[in-house]
Structure 1
Amino acid sequence: MKTQRITYLAAALTLAMAGSSCEHDEIYEPLEFAVQLSPTNTYKAGDPVVFNFSGNADFITIWNGDTGHEYRYRERTVLDAPDRLEACELNLEFSRRSGANVGDVQFYVTDRFGGLTGSDAATDKARIEAIESGNFDGWIPLEIEEPSSSGKWSLTTHDLLDVDGNGTSVNDNFCLLMRWHPASAAAQRNYYINASVKVQFRDYSATTMKITELDPICFNRPDEMAGKEYETYTASSTGSKLGYLQTGGNYDVILNGTESSVVCPYRIDTWYVTTPLKLNMIPSDTGQSIKGVTDDVKSYSHIYNEPGTYTATILAGNGNYQGESGIRTYEVTFTVVEKIGGE
């Protein structure tokens, strides 16, 4: 490696004064700190890169500079790079527990819906009625493979980057709507459903979110459910669940149309709508605290498994009676190369 550049990015932060007459103001040692790359480093993928520290820093935090740990992305929450989004898919697992009904449960997706309030029943009812009266305009129906016999499971996967086969993507403001609305009140059945969204960015591990993690809102629309529009049951609930949507337990969603051979007396019309979500959201990059005030840390090592140029960022500071202060930021840039042959 020809150069090992260390750049000092920021001056010490100004300390807040505790009080004009307080004799303990600014009781801390001026920061003296340096970081250097170890002269024994080989800078080959899979080998440790060692950072040597000197000085009197009480606190040291490092962003390694590899994927998920870049200091410049510490506040990033959205990855605005469509080419980095390699996969975005909805997986629906579906099982009918009795009867031969088909089409009692329908699924739709869109990127044009503002969501339900979850608290104002009159407003949400009006929004739902507008969707239905508008013949689900702007919503894309999803075909699901319903098992041919009771108790069997089917899995249907939908590409949310091309949800209709014409290149339509719904990842920018994704919203999933599930409607449970049997054809009549005479033969309403039970259903078990698992639903999840998988998002894969290049260079990142895939993220999978269950439907219950997408802040869904349940709305029971029949007049018989007036005053109980948002009620659901959980796996730990007691009492009758007839006519209700249930969450938790071994399945994401259970739809209870029948209970102990008793069929729900009114025609169920339950809407389960997720809160609109940008699927290109990504966790902010994180650093690692490697030294506290009582620790004696002279070096730190990290293995970079992929070749490339990395910039590690180190935050160092001292503390006083008010807490951590005097923070300074340091950068170390270096290049890791591929190992050759049997190295």
Structure 2
Amino acid sequence: MNIHKYACGILLVALLSSCNKISEDVSFGVTLSPDNTYLAGDEVTFLFDGNPDYITFWSGDLGHEYKYRDRTEYAPEDIESCKIRFTVDSKYGAKYPKTLTLMATSGFPGLAGNNKDADHNLLTTFNGWETVVSQEEFPAKAGNGSTNVVTETYEKDIDVSKYASDATFAFRYQTGPLVPNESQRTWKIFGFSLETVYKNGVVYSLTAADMGFSAFDMLPQDLSPQSGNAYFNGKGMKGTWNLTDTKNIEIQGCAKTPAWENDDWLISSNLQLNGCEPDKSEVIKNINVRLDSYSHIYTVPGTYTVTFIAGNSNIYGESKVMREITFEVKSKN
């Protein structure tokens, strides 16, 4: 009886061991169809030999190259341009014309976010800011009603050599000494964005929602709803940044009374201006189908390297192979 159990145990181990690996290597080959024209706009057809469980296709097109599957940034010399864009509305505060500045820097360590004294000291002593849009460049004239506003749109080139992988942007609102019987300037910032264009045509964009803006009040008031909170960034408090809607960032100045001096920062997180999305592939076959060929249209003339990853898998493991083919696509003209 014990011998029988022992023999059954050996058999069970053997069976489990045989299931613990894929039974055979991946059999997969790729050739180009003899009917291909290799002209831009025509299909290029790839013929397959074998029936792997799955096939992943890297076309070699822009954004779909296997060699760039892990790339998350470009070198600064690969950048064609980097621009910042936004629109501002200005109203009220005719005697507070110079209250808003947009700045940029590299090397800013970021706000602690939970230590008012430390962050106040950091903003007081950090001297690496450079002006992107000065107080003089923002509208000096202001509208006088909720619908009567002065609007300006800004597009500025950013020096990527300084800020490529380490950029922080900040708006600073400063009223200076109080002006008797005068309400302070209110600003709205619409559509704040950064756009990096690379020499190969790829465009990388960031909106305000991507930039992790946070507010800091250098002169927080012990008033509701702020209650002395230097990090307050919501509605209902004059002289503080309102981040409720990042598409429409606003700072509303104080009315004629009560009024107080304001020095309020709106600071982005550390940004990567030369960032990019890793190149992507496409799964063209899974275990449920058989695929003997695949076609793709190349619209731009050039030399392409196409990569196929084919594999077999089960719950115990995976085997895969890579096949690459390089060819030239020519213009029809």
Equivalent residue for 1:255? 251
- DSSP 3-state at the match of 2:163: coil
Equivalent residue for 1:113? 108
CA contact (8 A) 1:28 1:319 kept: no
CA contact (8 A) 2:22 2:319 kept: no
Shift, 1:285, TM fit:
0.8
Shift, 1:130, TM fit:
0.7
Q: 1:113 to 1:250 in 2, by over 3 A?
A: closer
Question: 1:284 and 2:278 equivalent?
Answer: yes
Equivalent residue for 1:160? 158
CA contact (8 A) 2:43 2:297 kept: yes
CA contact (8 A) 2:31 2:46 kept: yes
Q: Deviations over 1:120-153 (max 9, x none)?
A: 433322211113xxxx455235233316341121
**Match among 56, 66, 69 for residue 71 of structure 1:** 66
Question: 1:24 and 2:19 equivalent?
Answer: yes
Equivalent residue for 2:168? 175
Equivalent residue for 1:245? 241
TM normalised by structure 1 equals 0.80
Equivalent residue for 1:56? 51
Equivalent residue for 2:328? 335
Equivalent residue for 2:86? 92
CA contact (8 A) 1:112 1:138 kept: no
Moved more, 61-70 or 139-148: 139-148
5 Å matches for 1:168-317? 169-185=162-178, 187-194=183-190, 195-224=192-221, 228-233=229-234, 240-249=236-245, 251-258=247-254, 265-317=259-311
Output the amino acid matched with 2:130: W
Flag the structure with larger Rg.
2
Shift, 1:254, TM fit:
0.9
In terms of fraction of residues, the more helix-rich structure is 2
Q: Distance in 2 between matches of 1:115 and 1:196?
A: 20
What count of residue pairs does the alignment treat as equivalent? 305
- DSSP 3-state at the match of 1:106: strand
Q: 1:282 to 1:264 in 2, by over 3 A?
A: farther
Output the amino acid matched with 1:245: W
TM normalised by structure 2 equals 0.82
Q: Deviations over 1:44-81 (max 9, x none)?
A: 11111111222121111111111111111111111115
Shift, 1:171, TM fit:
3.4
Q: Distance in 1 between matches of 2:141 and 2:259?
A: 26
- DSSP 3-state at the match of 2:306: strand
Q: Distance in 2 between matches of 1:26 and 1:107?
A: 60
Q: Distance in 1 between matches of 2:84 and 2:314?
A: 52
Runs of 4+ in 1 over 6 A off after TM superposition: none
Q: Distance in 2 between matches of 1:148 and 1:191?
A: 12
Shift, 1:35, TM fit:
1.2
RMSD: 2.7
Structure 1: gaps of 5 or more residues: 1-17, 163-167, 234-238
Q: Identity rate of aligned residues, in percent?
A: 27
Q: 1:156 to 1:295 in 2, by over 3 A?
A: same
